[in-house]
Amino acid sequence: MGRQVSERELEQFQNKIEYAEWELRVFIADILPKDFVIRTTMEDRMVELENLVNTYGWVVIVKHIQNKSIPDYNTFIWEGRLEEIMKEMQERNANVLILWNALKPRQIYTINEKLREIWAKAWDRIDLILKIFERNAFSKEAKLQIELAAIKHMWPRIYDMGMELWKQGGQWKWETNTEIMKRHLLKREKHVKEELEKFAKVREQHRQSRARKGMKTLGIVWYTNAWKSTLTNVLTKKWVLEEDKLFATLWTSVWKMFVPAIYEEETWKYIPPKEVLVNDTIWFIRELPPKLVDAFKSTLEDSIESDLLLHVIDASDPKFNLKIDVVDEILLSIWAQQKRLNIFNKIDWLVWVEYKTEIKWEEKIYSDKLEYIKETYADLNPIFISSTDKVGIDELKEKIIEEL
């Protein structure tokens, strides 16, 4: 750097690097166990991590997967390979190293100590997700939820702070200041939970009011980027943010879906027009830590209490089966056990995929891709739609009314 710099300067640089005005260049890494046979799953994880980086506004310049049976105790990635990564980061002007796995406090601390040599810093995937949450949180409730999640993530990181304090004042000062930080976080956590409880009570009052009025509710759940917001717009004819980004919205909105009157000529039955409330809920993503799910518990309650769940699935995603499992696991963890409609969205993209592979999609798509899903996932009673082309929307509405 041309002059001697203090450790304090290095620390301040690391703390502020994510707020830099220039575009940050990122090195992402993961560990692949030697006996891991499905390498494509690991590659999917890296793609998802890269999408998270892009969502935050940074750019990935290097990806690396290391083949190891177990992570290194001190540095997660083995020290020799970490040195190679640091050298490559210097050569490529990378500022941040992001690892897919959730790192132990000692590991993230040790890595960041080493990265000071090249004026860079390290995050794990949870750090990155929390930063994205923080950037996309606009309502008071969302901000409180992010703060609660950050506090839960911060607890183990007190080790990191304690090590720095120990350097400055010795073992006794480390223990004293660590206890101070613990007390501060406990006090703040209690306050945040009390504030979130107020929001939860208001939500409960709203649900009770709707129940008294006989209004039925839908909850929409989805794995990121299934174009759930597009479907919500089609159903409610309201504007909901549509972005091809992970975690574009972090709050639950309630909209109204109008269903016109139906007259069945065969039975002479008249079904009057109805309004159904649609809870546009937040995202799901693989291996989301329980502490983050717990932080958004009050928001997710709208899904838990809905009369019917719509699970929106990206039919064009080659790995949609794995993402169905992720959503099922999270719904199970929050005790969402009501009836569910499984909606396979983006069937227009299936046509595009067949066309790009030079298969006569006019003949092939309905006898191959869709038929495969129909047969393989028959137990899910799949409903096929295109929210962009509005294909299958009327049938979906009829099914919703039938179930309600």
Summarize pLDDT for 100-152 with one digit per residue, the tens: 888 888 888 889 889 988 989 899 998 888 888 888 777 788 888 888 888 88
* Between residues 200 and 27, the one the model is more confident about: 27
* Between residues 41 and 203, the one the model is more confident about: 203
d(C-alpha 380, C-alpha 313), whole Å: 12
CB 29 within 8 A of CB 63: yes
* Between residues 155 and 114, the one the model is more confident about: 114
Please name which of 396, 311, 313 lies closest in space to residue 350, comparing C-alpha atoms. 313
* Between residues 108 and 160, the one the model is more confident about: 108
Domain boundaries, the chain: 7-136, 140-195, 215-403
* Between residues 283 and 136, the one the model is more confident about: 136
Average pLDDT value for residue range 184-207: 88
Burial classification of residue 365, based on how many CB atoms lie within 10 Å of its CB (0-12 exposed, 13-18 middle, 19 or more buried): buried
CB 327 within 8 A of CB 221: yes
CB 156 within 8 A of CB 105: yes
Average pLDDT value for residue range 318-325: 84
The Cα-based distances of 357 to 150, 349, 351, 352 in angstroms read 45, 12, 10, 9
> pLDDT at position 352, please?
44
The Cα-based distances of 207 to 36, 159, 211, 243, 300 in angstroms read 46, 43, 6, 29, 13
Tokens of 23: 């575009």
The band of 359, judged by pLDDT with boundaries at 50, 70 and 90, is: very low
For the full predicted model, state whether its pTM sits above 0.85: no
Residue 311 is classified by DSSP as E
Per CATH, 7-136 and 215-403 having the same topology is answered yes
d(C-alpha 336, C-alpha 357), whole Å: 40
* Between residues 213 and 161, the one the model is more confident about: 213
Provide, rounded to the nearest whole percent, the portion of the chain with pLDDT above 70.
Answer: 76
Give 77's contacts (C-beta < 8 A, 6+ positions apart): 29, 31, 66, 71, 85, 99, 111
Q: Hey, which CATH number is domain 7-136, 3.40.50.720, 3.40.50.300, 3.40.50.11060, 3.30.2310.20?
A: 3.40.50.11060
The Cα-based distances of 57 to 145, 207, 208, 262 in angstroms read 22, 37, 41, 48
> pLDDT at position 39, please?
59
Q: What is the pLDDT of residues 72-92, one digit of tens each?
A: 888 888 888 899 999 999 999
The Cα-based distances of 101 to 7, 67, 75, 107, 366 in angstroms read 28, 14, 12, 11, 40
Lowest mean pLDDT segment, chosen from 121-130, 213-222, 365-374 = 365-374
d(C-alpha 247, C-alpha 52), whole Å: 9
Average pLDDT value for residue range 197-218: 82
> pLDDT at position 365, please?
43
SS3 call for 245: coil
Average pLDDT value for residue range 375-384: 88
d(C-alpha 121, C-alpha 12), whole Å: 11
The band of 366, judged by pLDDT with boundaries at 50, 70 and 90, is: very low
The Cα-based distances of 377 to 72, 302, 366 in angstroms read 41, 27, 15
Say if residue 169's pLDDT is above 70. Answer: no
Residue 99 is classified by DSSP as E
CB 228 within 8 A of CB 111: no
> pLDDT at position 135, please?
80
Tell me what the pLDDT averaged over the chain comes to. 77
* Between residues 344 and 159, the one the model is more confident about: 344
> pLDDT at position 355, please?
37
Say if residue 390's pLDDT is above 50. Answer: yes
d(C-alpha 40, C-alpha 37), whole Å: 9
> pLDDT at position 22, please?
65
> pLDDT at position 299, please?
66
> pLDDT at position 223, please?
80
d(C-alpha 66, C-alpha 169), whole Å: 38
Say if residue 195's pLDDT is above 90. Answer: yes
Say if residue 396's pLDDT is above 60. Answer: yes
Cross-strand partners of 26: 60, 96
Please name which of 169, 35, 47, 178 lies closest in space to residue 105, comparing C-alpha atoms. 178
Tokens of 125: 């995937």
Q: What is the pLDDT of residues 338-351, one digit of tens each?
A: 889 999 998 887 75
d(C-alpha 50, C-alpha 59), whole Å: 8
* Between residues 319 and 96, the one the model is more confident about: 96
> pLDDT at position 27, please?
93
CB 27 within 8 A of CB 97: yes
Q: What is the pLDDT of residues 1-24, one digit of tens each?
A: 444 445 565 566 666 676 666 668
> pLDDT at position 111, please?
92
Average pLDDT value for residue range 318-337: 83
Arch. (CATH architecture) of 215-403: 3-Layer(aba) Sandwich (3.40)
> pLDDT at position 354, please?
43
